[in-house]
Every structure is written in structure tokens, then in C-alpha cells.
Amino acid sequence: MLISSSYSLISTFNSWLSSGNILLNILALIAYGIFISIILSVYDYLFGWAERKIIAKVQLRHGPTYVGKFGILQNLADVIKLLAKEHIVPDTADKFLYAIGLPAMMAISVLLVLVLPFSPYLQATNLALGLLFVLVLLSFMPLFIFVSAYSTGNKFADISAQRSVLMMLSYELPMLIVLASVALLSKSFNIAGIISAQSTGWFVWLMPIGFIVFFVAMLAELERPPFDFLEADSELIAGWLTDYSAPYYALSLFLDYTRMLFGSLIMAILFFGGWSGPFLPPIIWLLIKAVIISLFIIIIRTTLVRMRIDRMLKFGWVWMLPLSLVNLIITYMVFIH
Amino acid sequence: MHLMRVVIDVPVRINVGPIHPSTHGVLRLVVDVEGDKIENMEAHIGFLHRGVEKLLENRMYMQACPHMEKLDYFAPMSYDELYVAAVEQAYGIELKEKAMYVRTILLELQRIASHLASIGFLCNDIGQLFTAFMWSFKDRDMVLKLLEAATGTRMFYVNMRIGGLVRDLPPGFEDSAIELLDYLSKRIPAYEKYLEKNPVFMERNKGIGVISRDEAKNLGITGPVLRGSGVSYDIRKNKPYYVYEKLNFRIQVRNEGDNFARYKVRMLELRESIRIVREALKKMPPEGSAVGMPIRLIGPPVKNKITITERELPRGECMIYLVADPQRPYRAYIRSANFINLSAIEEMCKGQRFADIFSIIGGLDMVMADVDK
């Protein structure tokens, strides 16, 4: 009942979008925005809680237990606390850049929604070059980390900024080449096209090397361990976030999980057949896949030691880049040629 | 312009600490970095100075034990024992055999607890999210529980008296100790498997903070750090005390002199300590009491006016130079292994990467309370 009514709702909105009436178009987009916000908030909130619980289980602890059942309201309490605290802007900060850095990153993350579809009927646009758009948005991230880090005027943040450039050099290129081989294999830059090309077999089976390289690059993109050089808590205190306090810090936490959601969604779409799957509605399938990938990312966090930044550069150029090229060549020779 | 300032200041001078997540307390390192490389480094200490040596001069002999314990809060009993042994030497008191065995057992259990903690800290410092830390602390806690059964407290024991201990080992101690040792001898290979098969862990420790054999000797480094640099020196063997002569164990030495060697020496010493405790439990005379003298305000006449007592503590060789008066020490100088070992940090860090500072601190196993005294 719920599914069929939601389908009728979606088709109503879609008809509004294609009606040509500007007012109806705007209404449909607002409805889509509300839907995305709900998904984002629920995911961010639940993963904020789940990450603490999972890590606690691995570490033989309990995690949050007091606030709400199983401590599920703990993060809400934390966010309320952070919002209530004094927001301190350091004297050394470049006030303008300091103010826009984190919100800009959040905006860029959310912009990914424009091209990432949740189901065949639930998407904002259907760009022909959607994959390129994703890549452009992803490469904006290190730039804004760099800007926010320098804007605080903190020396630990300065080191973090230098590291962000080094890191971008090491993982961006392999990631791009893997994306190229995905486009080559599906003969399309369109996200829906990539998903329909996987109806015969997921790309993770067709190019496992490519997936591994992409996954590692994605971990680096998301600043997840073992590549959390920028926030390296035992070295740089909190890296580029050292001087961000109260509401901005809450925003950074929110940003962290939002990026993880989009990272997982991109991987689910490019390698795990996106929304395709039997019985359940497409959006459920896509979210299930994304959640499993996110859980995997969290479990990696509990076990691995942080790499060193210069080794990361070496790792990127000596291993990831050749492997991604090998993947591209194999893809071309086996599946296209 | 703000951005310009950053470009001009090369090398950048950074204050690491005294408030920093992984300087093991209040160590302040002034580091000059060019990019990620350490050009120069200077260690500043003294933020936790409490004047323990002066405190000892103002207390009766047996009132000073709690102060000694707080020097190294990961091996409090070892420091307690060092001080009491110094007082015993001043008074010329011999221990009963049972008391010697019990002290040896408790000290080795304390060493196990301390080394387990240090392995957890090392993993934490090189950026693992508390997992190995929590696991090793769980195992350390089991050792602490056994020590609690033996002494009555979990952490600061104050369990030594002149001529023995406060109380005998409780009934059933041997069985629970052997049970614990069996468990630990299964856990230690598990740690090694978990850490040494992890390429990133090896990368972060191999070849980091190398200090050569000669340099280590010149700087006066002791303990696992010295043995990691290939010098076979251990007070338990070289100047044996208590029953260490009668027990069968080896000095564990590695020749690399890097951070991994220090970690590995600790791992091997854990095994040796387990062996020592097992053997001591077997050889311990079943009868007799280990209880020492009750606390008296006015002690017996001092036999040796000036004494030097050395002990192998978990973090290295510690020494007390004691000038004794009848009631209280006239002067007590403490040579703490941590302070001397810390003097090597500038040598070790020069030319390394910024991230390596923290693996080196973890490898040195600093306790700042001990450094600052």
C-alpha cells in the first residue's frame, strides 16, 4: 500500500516536472529536496550512532547507552550541546574564508544529488555526462579543505592543507582512470546508462582490480582510515578542523557522514548495479547496497593503522596508478576489442 | 595577506604539546618542519614537576612509598619496590627467601602489565583508532585484577614493607596466576599476528627513529630501548637481585635499533616474564611468611650511610642514591629511565617525517610523571 501510494506520488511529481509549468516544476523540486534531506538526515544520524556502536563492539566496549534506547539519542544530545556552545573564531583566521569553507563543502556534497539517481523515477536531472559532473564535484573537495585549513591560520591546519594537496595528487588520477574504464565498459557517461549496462553483470565482477583501486581512492577521498592524514588525531590534533568549534564542528561531523553516503552511493552505482535487484523497490536496493559499503568502510576504520603521507604518495603512483591502467587495458582488450 | 604569511615562514616552527593528544602527558616538543620533514627539534620538560626528591626528604621512610608510586603510574609497584629496597640496603636488612620470591613474582606481573599498556599506546600513537589499545588494556586489566587479589588495590599498591610485604599472597593465588599466564601466552602471539602481518604497522615502525649501538650507550639509554639497539644489558642479569640468579631467562636483544626493535623487545620480554613467573611460582617455598616489619616512626640505626640501589624497571634501569638519616632520607636522588631515554628523542627524530614523532614517542614508552619527577 505504502509502496504503491509512494509510486503514485512520484509519478505525480514527475508529471509536474515534465508539464512545463514553472510553478509546478519548482514545487516538484522542493518536494524532491525535502525527500533528499530526509534521507540524508536519517542516514547521517543513524550512521553517526552505528559507527560509535560498531567501533565500541570491536573494541570490547559498550558505546553510548544512557540517552535513549541503546544510546540512540546520544548523537542528538551531542549536536544540541555543540549548537549551544560558544562559536569561537580565531584571531588569526581569514574571517570570510573561515565562514564559507565548511558550508561550501556541504553544498558541494549535496550537489551530487543532482546527478545521483535514487531510482529510475527519482532523480533531479538526467545529464548525458553525469559521470563527469560527479568527478568535477569530487575534485572540488580537496580544494575547499585546503581553503578552510589555510583560513584558520593554525599551523596544524597548515600542515593538513599541504597534505591535502599531496593526497589529491596521489589518488585523483587513478580514480579518474577507473571512472574512464567504467565509462568505456558501459559505453555511456550517463548514470542511468551505466546502471542499465550492468543488467548482465555487475562491474565489480568484470573489473575487480578497478573496483579495489576505486575503493582505496574513495577511502582517501572520504578521509577515512587508513588515509585520514588530514584529520590525523594523534598527529595533527584535528588537522584542518582544529580551530573549528561548536556549530561548525557539528557541521563537519554532518559533512563527514554525508560524504560517506555519497561515496557509498557512487560505488554502489558504478560497481554494484545501482538500483537493480529483485522484489524490493529500486530505492531500497540502492540504499541497502550503499549501507553495506558504508559499514565496510567503518569496519576498516577499527582495524587499520594510519599510513604516512609520503608513503601514500608512493602508494598512489607505484601501485594504484599502474593498476588502474592495467584495469583500463584489460577492460579494453577483453570486453571492447 | 594571510596566505602570504604561510608561504614565507619556511621552515615552520610548531609547538607539539604540552597539550596534545599523543605526547603521553605534558611533553612539549618545539619542532621545525619543512613540509613534512623535521629539520630540528627541541624537547621541553618540567610541566609535571612535583619535587618528589624533596618530598622524600620531608617524610618518614615508609611515608614516601605513595609518592614513589606516582612517578610511573604504569609500573607503580616497581618504583615502590626500588625505594623500599634502597631503604633496606641502608638499614642492612636481609629478606626472607619467601619474601624474595613473592616480590619477584609481583614485579614480573607488573612488568607484564606495563609492557601490555605500552603496546596499546604505540598502536594508538601511530593512528589506530584505539582497537589494539582497548584489547591490550583488557589483558592488562586481568593482570591488575590478579595484583589486586594479591595486594588489595588495583593500581597504587603501597604493598612493600621493609623486610617483605604488607601481606602474604592470598590462598589460591598460584592457580589463578597460572590460569592468567596460560591465557596471556595465547594472547601474545595473537597480538604479534595482528600487528606484524599488518603492512602499514610495519611500515610505520621499521627503520623509524634509529639509534645506533654506540649512540645509545653514549646517551645512557637503558631498558627495552637499549636492548632494541643491540646492547645486551639488563640489571636482572648483570647485577642480579632477589632470586633472578636462580631463575632461567634470557636477555632479549634486537640489533636494528629502530622503533620496531623496541616493540619487538617488549613482546619478547612479555614471554620471558611469563616464564619467570611460572618458574618462580614453582620454586617458591610453600612455607614461611613474606610479611615485613611493621611501620615504626623511629627506625633501627642506619648501617650504610650512602647507598646506591639499582633495579630493572619496565622502562629501563632506575637507581636511587640514598643518603640515610635515622628517620628520613637526608637526600634521595632518583635516576629515572624515562628521563634519560627521552634525551635521545632529538637524535631519533631529526630527518624523520612529522608523523614519525609520535611513533617514536610510542616506541620510547614515555611516562611524563617519571621524566619531570
Q: What pLDDT, on a 0 to 100 scale, did the predictor assign at position B110?
A: 92
End-to-end Cα separation, chain A, in angstroms: 48
Q: Is the model's pLDDT at B52 over the cut of 60? A: yes
DSSP A71: G
Pairing, β B160-161 against β B164-165? antiparallel
Chains A and B form CB pairs within 8 A to the count of: 97
Chain A touched by B36 (CB under 8 Å): yes
Q: How confident is the model at residue A198 (pLDDT cuts 50, 70, 90)?
A: confident
pLDDT tens sequence across A275-329: 877 887 778 888 888 899 999 998 888 888 888 888 888 888 888 899 999 988 8
When CB atoms are compared, the residue of B36, B126, B131 closest to A302 is B131
Residue of A231 and A255 predicted with greater confidence: A255
Q: Please say if the pLDDT value at position B321 is more than 90.
A: yes
B12 neighbourhood in chain A, CB within 8 Å: 155, 158-159
Tens of pLDDT, residue by residue over A98-131, are 888 888 888 888 888 777 877 777 777 777 788 8
Q: Is B355 on the interface with A (CB under 8 A)?
A: yes
Q: What number is the average pLDDT over the span B80-99? A: 88
Mean pLDDT across B356-372: 88
Q: Is B230 a residue whose pLDDT tops 80?
A: yes
Q: Above 60 in pLDDT, residue B220?
A: yes
In the numeric block, which cell numbers belong to residue A239? 588537522
pLDDT digits (tens, 9 = 90+) for B197-209: 888 888 888 888 8
Whole-Å CA distances, A248 to A83, A85, A230, B60: 9, 11, 17, 55
Whether B70 contacts B76, CB under 8 Å: yes
CB atoms B36 and A163 under 8 Å = yes
Q: Is the pLDDT of residue B1 over 60?
A: no
CB atoms within 10 A of CB B30: 14
Least confident interval from A170-179, A232-241, B68-77: A232-241
- Cβ under 8 Å to A: B residues 127-146: 127-131, 133-135, 138
B306 touches chain A (CB under 8 A): no
Mean pLDDT of all residues in B330-337:
90
CB contact under 8 A, B126 and A232: no
ipTM, two decimals? 0.78
- The answer to whether the CB of B132 falls within 8 A of the CB of B201 is no
Among the partner-chain residues B3, B22, B135, the one whose CB lies closest to the CB of A60 is B135
pLDDT at A215: 92
Q: Taking a C-beta distance cutoff of 8 angstroms, is the pair B297, B327 a contact?
A: yes
C-alpha span between B327 and B325 (Å, rounded): 6
Any idea which residue has 591560520 for its cell? A153
pLDDT at position B4 is 45
Q: Show which residues on chain A lie within 8 Å of chain B, measured between beta carbons.
A: 55, 58-61, 92, 94, 150-151, 153, 155-156, 158-159, 162-163, 225-226, 228-229, 232-235, 237, 301-311
Q: pLDDT confidence of A2, banded at 50, 70, 90? A: low
Query: Tens digit of pLDDT for each residue in A128-179?
Result: 788 888 888 888 888 888 888 888 888 888 888 888 888 888 888 898 899 8
CA dist A101 and B146 (Å) reads 53
Which of B6, B22, B203 has the CB atom closest to A234's CB atom? B22
* Residue range B50-372, CATH number: 1.10.645.10
Range of the domain at A112: 2-336
Q: How far is it, in rounded angstroms, from Cα B27 to Cα B371?
A: 9
Q: What mean pLDDT do residues A227-248 have?
A: 82
| Strand arrangement, sheet containing B12-16 | B12-16, B28-34, B37-44
For residue B297, what pLDDT is reported? 59
- Give pLDDT, residue B183: 92
CA distance A173 to chain B (A): 22
Asked if the Cβ–Cβ distance from B129 to A235 is below 8 Å, we say: no
Mutation target for B interface from A224, A299, A308, A313: give the one with most B CBs within 10 A.
Answer: A308
Domain count, chain A: 1
Query: What's the whole-number average pLDDT of chain B?
Result: 87
Average pLDDT along chain A: 84
Q: Residue B2: is its pLDDT beyond 60? A: no
- The secondary structure of B240-284 as a DSSP string is --TTGGGS-------SS-SHHHHHHHHHHHHHHHHHHHHHHHHHS
Share above pLDDT 90 across residues of chain B, in percent, rounded to a whole number: 21
Give percent above pLDDT 90 in chain A.
5
Q: pLDDT for A28-56, tens place per residue?
A: 778 888 888 888 888 888 888 999 999 99
